[in-house]
Amino acid sequence: MNDISIRIKELMEEMSPQFIETFRHLHKNPELSFQEYDTTEYIRAVLQELDIKILDIGLETGVVGLLEGSQPGPCIALRADIDGLPIQEESSSSYPSERPGKMHACGHDTHTASLLGAARLLASVRENLRGSVKFFFQPAEEVNLGAKKLVALGCMENPHVDAVFGMHNEPHVPYGCVAVKKGPLMASVDRINIKITGKGGHGGMPQKNIDPIVVAAAIIQSLQTIVSRNVSPIDSCVVSICNVKAGEGTVNNVTPEEVRMYGTVRNYSQDVQHYVEQRIRDIVEQVSAAYGAKGELEYIYELAVTDNHEQLFDIAKDAVESIGAEVFDPIPVTGGEDFSEYMKYAPGFLYWLGVRNEEQDCIYPWHSPHFKADERAIVIGAGTYAMAAVKAMEKF
């Protein structure tokens, strides 16, 4: 282990109380997507204290910081999301949210505290850094818009980012572990909006109508065959209709004119993604036509697959091992992450930070009002972020 790695490990132990204090402050003060004004000011104050340059790229909330090492080299970006959720906290935390109806129920406070910790670590060893580090404190991950906004405002340039690392907590991964996965870790996220137009009329005289509800039922049933009969069993895919709107109020004898349905598609392959879109379109249009109705599909590509870059796997793994944490081999999930937006412009790698601790009631899933993370994971998160930047600078 080289001198900088040893120093970072020493600093992790020395600074751990400060990391925990930061986490507790953030947990008590959650803010919703694109409303993270107090969080933004808090982050700016910490970065200014550390003499890390704040780059003005036009953000209202969120911060991009730049730490320049003593010698030229690659630019490595580290990303954390900062927004909370509109959930009333019901966890067993001894420092719960102080903002009614708002909670860090997805653990973005763990990410932000970890990245601020990494900023402290890296600022303390800047004289030994061969390159620069960009810190992305990103707003609005929960609405899938924050990363797109940062990229549109030029976060990946000036200086150009050579590699980007991100982190998300994972309540199924034990404290002390960090999940490191080569290849797809989180799925693509697509939105489907379906409109079926029939012919409304009296529910007691169906022969005079074209019932869009019957058409909708046929489409819902048919869509399930995409996964079971069109996609290879080797490939993972989800097609779910999660919302159906038909008729008005509690009216029980009127066939409506139209039905609207909303759903989601998840998978890990761009080829499968495009194929599934075409199959959904065929089913919506042709099943509707068979019943004499009109079916229309709006297919929205929201997030790409979070596909960890092969080039960064050894770096990512080495970083975790260098701080003494345990490498965990995870099973991918069909949740999505807008970290994938940065991966379109530079090699990227997303970690999962273990926050599970059954003895401390840290067992609940993301978005639960009972969600709670083992706060000690912040020290591991900070060290992993910092060491990933150092290791990437050495390799690039």
- Residue among 43, 42, 36, 31 at smallest CA distance from 119: 43
Residue with tokens 């909330």: 61
Annotated binding residues, written as ranges, equal 106, 108, 142, 168, 367
Strand pairing report for 71-81 and 163-174: parallel
124 and 250 co-located in one domain: no
Rounded distance, CA 353 to CA 378, Å?
Answer: 9
Picking from 274, 303, 332, the residue at the C-terminal end of a domain is: 303
268 and 168 co-located in one domain: no
pLDDT tens by residue, 260-274: 999 999 999 999 999
**Inter-residue contact 83 to 140 (CB < 8 Å):** yes
The domain spanning residue 248 has which CATH number? 3.30.70.360
Q: Which helix (H) or strand (E) holds 273?
A: helix 270-290
Q: Is the pLDDT of residue 318 over 70?
A: yes
123 and 56 co-located in one domain: yes
84 and 232 co-located in one domain: no
Q: Which domain holds residue 145?
A: 3-186+305-395
Tokens at residue 340, please? 């994938």
Q: Is 63 helix (H, G, I), strand (E, B) or coil?
A: strand
46 and 178 co-located in one domain: yes
272 and 373 co-located in one domain: no
Burial of 310 (0-12, 13-18, 19+ CB in 10 A): exposed
175 and 97 co-located in one domain: yes
297 and 340 co-located in one domain: no
- Computed over every residue of the chain, the mean pLDDT equals 97
pLDDT tens by residue, 119-160: 999 999 999 999 999 999 999 999 999 999 999 999 999 999
Annotated binding residues for Mn(2+), written as ranges, equal 106, 108, 142, 168, 367
The domain spanning residue 345 has which CATH number? 3.40.630.10
> DSSP assignment of 180-234, as one string?
--SEEEE-EEEEEEEEEE-B-EETT-GGGSB-HHHHHHHHHHHHHHIIIIIS-TT
Q: Is the pLDDT of residue 82 over 90?
A: yes
Picking from 248, 279, 303, the residue at the C-terminal end of a domain is: 303
pLDDT tens by residue, 100-112: 999 999 999 999 9
Interval 10-32 mean pLDDT: 98
64 and 34 co-located in one domain: yes
Assign 396 a pLDDT band (cuts: 50, 70, 90).
Answer: confident
CA-CA distances (angstroms) from residue 273 to 45, 148, 236, 331?
Answer: 43, 20, 11, 20
Interval 208-231 mean pLDDT: 97
Torsion of Cα atoms, 19 then 21 then 25 then 27, to 10°: 70
First to last CA, the chain: 18
Picking from 247, 278, 303, the residue at the C-terminal end of a domain is: 303
Strand pairing report for 71-81 and 130-138: parallel
196 and 327 co-located in one domain: no
Rounded distance, CA 329 to CA 326, Å?
Answer: 10
Burial of 374 (0-12, 13-18, 19+ CB in 10 A): buried
Assign 339 a pLDDT band (cuts: 50, 70, 90).
Answer: very high
82 and 182 co-located in one domain: yes
Give me the number of domains the chain comprises: 2
- Residue among 351, 376, 329 at smallest CA distance from 79: 351
Under DSSP, the state recorded for 164 is E
Percent of the chain clearing pLDDT 70 (strictly above): 100
194 and 319 co-located in one domain: no
CA-CA distances (angstroms) from residue 388 to 147, 350, 380, 395?
Answer: 20, 11, 12, 11
Assign 1 a pLDDT band (cuts: 50, 70, 90).
Answer: low
